[in-house]
Amino acid sequence: MSIIAAALPVRRWRNPSALPGFGLTLGFTLFYLSAIVLVPLAALIIRPWEIGWSGFWDILSDVRVQHALRLSFGASLIAAAINTVFGAMVAWVLVRYRFPGRGLLDALVDLPFALPTAVAGIALSALYAPNGWLGRPLAEFGIRIGYTPYGVLIALIFIGLPFVVRTLQPVLAEFGRDAEEAAATLGATRLQTMRRVVLPALVPSILTGTALSFARAVGEYGSVIFIAGNLPGISEIAPLLIIIKLNENDYAGASAIGVIMLAASFAMLLALNLLQSWSASRQ
Amino acid sequence: MSPRFVSPTADHWTTRFGLTALSLAFIGLFLVLPLIVVFGEALNDGLKPVWAAIEEPDALAAIRLTIVAAAISVPLNAAFGVAGAWLVTKFDFPGKGLLVTFIDLPFSVSPVVSGLIYVLVFGLQGWLGPYLSAHDIHIIFALPGIVLATIFVTFPFVARELIPLMNEQGRDEEEAAVSLGASGLSIFWRVTLPNIKWGLLYGVLLCNARAMGEFGAVSVVSGHIRGLTDTMPLHIEVLYNDYQYQAAFAVAMLLALLALVTLALKTFLEWRYADEIAATHHH
């Protein structure tokens, strides 16, 4: 038996490598990944089955839950759209123009990544609350941002901006001026060149930035809750509702909303992978 | 008047000026102003009340807990990042793409969901709840839960920096070392680590900033026991909801300083060691 086995060409399940450590790193990686990420996520995905489909739908058809989900997804979409426009502009300015303070501006773009969300949250609240730095002058014009859905929007713009800039910046830096020069020699105006040559080439990376910004905004909690005012049915976001339900010991309700948010995360991850392969196939 | 050469790919100076001004205004209003508010509100009455807020026992306990949680979770994630990057970049095996997607997964999960999953595993009504309470083991509303939630949200930082870096560096140097009879451990210490040290430091820096500033995930598992399970961001929330604005901004200022130091170090590493950090590598 062993002679036959030795004589047969062995089909290895991985390509041979001269380097050591495969078993060790594979074991540690899989153990750590399972213990920290996969098993706890499975606990969330399985949980709603205890109450069945009908129980699951009952929770999600609740008016308060529906409103919170609509606000989280709607405000994130609007924030991502705003960040796409301004993020693309900032990336263009940072890559193409030279001006004093450019390095500082470049470093500041990462501020939302570095500043803890709770700090951003109370700062935005101090700015936009009705008696805040900007809130008071705005109130004189009858504009209210703090403690309204617009407050949610402001916070989501804050945390989402770097994603668009940082996705677009390297692509723009690499994108040579050859095509633009060719368009110019063929008589295209600057505006035509931008619309027909530059923009189409950047679309995949712009959309990737938009998707990343949206994905981050949907689940955002810390920077939103201080400025939102959290009025049920008006400015209450879905992640906050999960916490409220947990505090009421309503595990089923919390996990039902959690599963929806997780499904949205998976969908965004899939969309991002598709975007990635699309932009790779275009290069 | 002699005709002056105008590059066909340069924007008109009005466009350049307008876009630059608009970018500066947008970044100033949305990113810089909140940062100024933190310092302004904290230092409103000078440094004395800032010290008083930081020296207060609950604040000191929160600072200690934040440091302890980061001191446990950051090294663990760094070890995982190195092992995972070694596995993914030094060996070829089926399922590698899926593994990398799973490693990135925590980035797209809402912080609140990240905390929720551990409540569903370790909480009183969770999978292991009855067993844990029978044996008097506290995970949720205690340090282990806070550490787990912190590990989850900072899970991909080091791996995500090291994988592209080590992919680009290839396997030649390590394979040469093997052929010369070096052991696995000495290859890692003497060949790989010197090549990746700045990338590793870069990943650890970002991982630490997020670990110390995490709010949503930790908020779910902490239980908000003052002086015991409140981290710095949670302590800020408690103070703010208690209308102790000045004290809240004093603690927030500490975290804002941490963010600024992180940004400065990050910018320095990107500038000084651009070739040895994946984030600044664009080919």
Predicted pLDDT of residue A195: 86
Query: What mean pLDDT value characterizes chain A?
Result: 90
Q: Do B112 and A116 touch (CB under 8 A)?
A: no
Distance from CA of B4 to the nearest CA of A (A): 17
Q: Do B110 and A221 touch (CB under 8 A)?
A: yes
| Percent of chain A residues past pLDDT 90, beyond the cut | 67
What residues have CB less than 8 Å from A221, skipping those under 6 apart?
A117, A237, A239, A240, A243, B110, B111, B112, B215, B216, B219
Closest by CA to A116, choosing from B28, B258, B20, B130, is: B258
Q: Does A64 touch chain B (CB under 8 A)?
A: no
Widest distance between CA atoms in chain A: 91
pLDDT category, A280, cuts 50, 70, 90? confident
Q: Which range is least confidently modeled, A97-111, A166-180, B22-36?
A: A166-180
Predicted pLDDT of residue B126: 86
Give the tens place of pLDDT for each residue, B31-43: 999 999 999 999 9
Pick from B93, B111, B127: which is nearest to A221 by CB? Answer: B111
pLDDT at B221 over 90: yes
Predicted pLDDT of residue A197: 85
What residues have CB less than 8 Å from A21, skipping those under 6 apart?
B86, B87, B90, B184, B188
Structure tokens belonging to residue B35: 């940062």
Q: Does A150 touch chain B (CB under 8 A)?
A: no
* Mean pLDDT, residues A255-281: 89
pLDDT at A107 over 90: yes
Q: Does A244 touch chain B (CB under 8 A)?
A: no
Count the neighbouring beta carbons within 10 Å of the beta carbon of residue A198. Answer: 18
Q: Which range is least confidently modeled, A7-16, A136-145, B13-22, B85-94?
A: A7-16
Q: Does A26 touch chain B (CB under 8 A)?
A: yes
Q: Distances in Å between the alpha carbon of B77 and those of A10, A159, B112, B278?
A: 36, 24, 20, 18
How buried is A185 (Cβ within 10 angstroms: 0-12 exposed, 13-18 middle, 19+ buried)? exposed
* Mean pLDDT, residues A72-96: 96
Structure tokens belonging to residue B208: 């630490």
* Mean pLDDT, residues A101-124: 95
Q: What is the CA B89 to chain-centroid distance, rounded?
A: 23
Q: Does B102 touch chain A (CB under 8 A)?
A: yes
Give the tens place of pLDDT for each residue, A212-258: 999 999 999 999 999 998 999 899 999 999 999 999 999 999 999 99
ipTM of the complex: 0.92
**Higher per-residue pLDDT: A66 or B275:** A66
Q: Which of B15, B33, B90, B120 to mutate to test the interface with A (most CBs of A within 10 A)?
A: B120
